[in-house]
Amino acid sequence: MKIAIIIPMAEEREYYLEHFQLEAKERIGAVEFEHFTHGSNDIYLGLSGIGKVQAAMALTSLLATTKIDLIFLTGSAGSLQENVRVNDLVVADAFAYHDVNAVNAGPYVIGQIPQEPAIYSLANDYREQFVSFLHDEQIAFQSGLIVTGDTFVSTNALKEAIKANFPTALGVEMEGAAMAQVASHFAVPLIGLRAISDNGDDNADFDFDQFVRRVGKTAAQTISKFLDTD
């Protein structure tokens, strides 16, 4: 299988470079990908940079030129729920934009880009396999909606405003819905695994700086272990 792993930040990528044997670096469109063969899999590791456009650009570059069977989006996220804590793993069952409002442009809900779905569901067989693997390995995780926007959420007020629109969302980050949008147009399955680095509140900037590397490693170890089973 050809598998893409897209990561926004270098701090969240370090573990992969230690764990896999680098074979080649390849510039594909806008992004330099690291290429590994691991078991029967071909792995493309791409550092997208932060935010919706960076994520979309990285994934579009890859999917437009290379036949990919499965995409992982990973890295960190802020928590939106009390029972989702720093270092917890969240497997997205869907992504939505929290910073899109075209409600007055037609029959659209908050978060919905015109002529796009309100949320991007990630139901696919590979996600099921990944979730079964987590259960088998007794790796704790929560599963649910993750919301995306071009804002680092670092005030209680913004966190509450997002929760008012998306009361069930478990986490917030800056790339997931954009990746899910691109993946859906290319019809390639996506798994989103985020590790919580902060609570998206008034302490978020401090917590993020302190924990991003550690939780990025937690997410990377989890995906690497899954890929090791092949």
Residues in contact with ligand ADE by the rule CB under 6 A: 76-78, 152-154, 172-174, 197-198, 200, 204, 208
Q: Name which of 174 and 180 has its Cβ closer to ligand ADE.
A: 174
Shortest CA distance to 89 belongs to which of 141, 37, 138, 23? 141
Q: Which is nearer to ligand ADE, 93 or 207 (CB)?
A: 207
Helix, strand and coil in the chain, % to nearest 5: 35, 30, 35
Q: Which residue is nearest to ligand ADE (CB)?
A: 78
Minimal distance, residue 77 CB to ligand ADE, in Å: 5
* Active-site residue (options: 93, 175, 198, 201): 198
Tell me how far apart the alpha carbons of residues 173 and 23 are, in angstroms, rounded to a whole number.
31
Shortest separation between residue 204's beta carbon and ligand ADE, angstroms: 4
Q: What is the β-pairing status of strands 41-47 and 70-79?
A: unpaired
Tell me if residue 12 is catalytic.
yes
Q: How far is the CB of 190 from ligand ADE (least distance, A)?
A: 18
* Cβ–Cβ < 8 Å for 200, 148: no
CA distance linking residue 93 with residue 145, whole number of Å: 6
Tell me the closest approach of the beta carbon of residue 40 to ligand ADE, in angstroms.
33
> Which residue number, 141 or 152, has a Cβ lying nearer to ligand ADE?
152
Nearer to ligand ADE, 158 or 183 (CB): 158
Catalytic residue among 12, 88, 173, 207: 12
Q: At 189, list the tokens.
A: 């399955």
Reply yes or no on whether 160 is catalytic. Answer: no
Cα dist from 59 to 32, 155, 169, 178, whole Å = 11, 30, 24, 9
* Catalytic residue numbers, as ranges: 12, 198
